[in-house]
Amino acid sequence: MTTAVSRIDWIRLSPWLYTIGLFVLWEACVLVLGLPPFILPAPTTIVAAMVEFWPAIWKNGLQTLFTTLAGFAAAVVGGLALGLLVGWSRTVYAGLYPLMIGFNSIPKVAVVPILVLWFGIGTVPAIITAFLISFFPVVVNVATGLATIEPETEDVLKALGASKMDIMLKVGIPRALPYFFGSLKVAITLAFVGSVIAETVAANSGVGHMMLTAQSNFQVPLVFAGLVTLAVEGIVAYALMAWVEKRMTGWAHRSGFAQ
Partner 1 sequence: MSVPITLSDVSHRYGGATGTLALDGCSLTVRPGEFAAVVGPSGCGKSTLMKLATGLQFPFKGTVTVAGERVTKPVTMAGMAFQNPTMLPWRTTLRNVLLPLEIVRPHRQRFRADRAIFEAKAEDLLSVVGLEGFGQKFPWQLSGGMQQRASLCRALIHEPELLMLDEPFGALDAFTREELWCVIRDLQEARKFTVVLVTHDLREAVFLADRIFVMSGRPGRIIAERTVSFPRPRDLSVTYTPEFMAVVQELRAHISEARAAA
Q: Which residues lie near partner 1 (CB under 8 A)?
A: 150, 152-153, 155-162, 166, 170-171, 174-175, 251-252, 254-257
Residue among 121, 134, 138, 139 at smallest CA distance from 71: 134
Quote the least distance from Cβ 250 to partner 1, whole Å. 9
Report the residue number, 171 or 237, with the smaller CB distance to partner 1: 171
Q: How far apart are the first and last CA of the chain?
A: 43
Quote the least distance from Cβ 249 to partner 1, whole Å. 8
Quote the least distance from Cβ 149 to partner 1, whole Å. 10
Sequence-distant (≥ 6) Cβ neighbours of residue 109 within 8 angstroms: 197, 201
Quote the least distance from Cβ 96 to partner 1, whole Å. 24
Report the residue number, 96 or 167, with the smaller CB distance to partner 1: 167
Report the residue number, 24 or 156, with the smaller CB distance to partner 1: 156
The Cα–Cα gap between 77 and 43 comes to 39
Report the residue number, 39 or 258, with the smaller CB distance to partner 1: 258
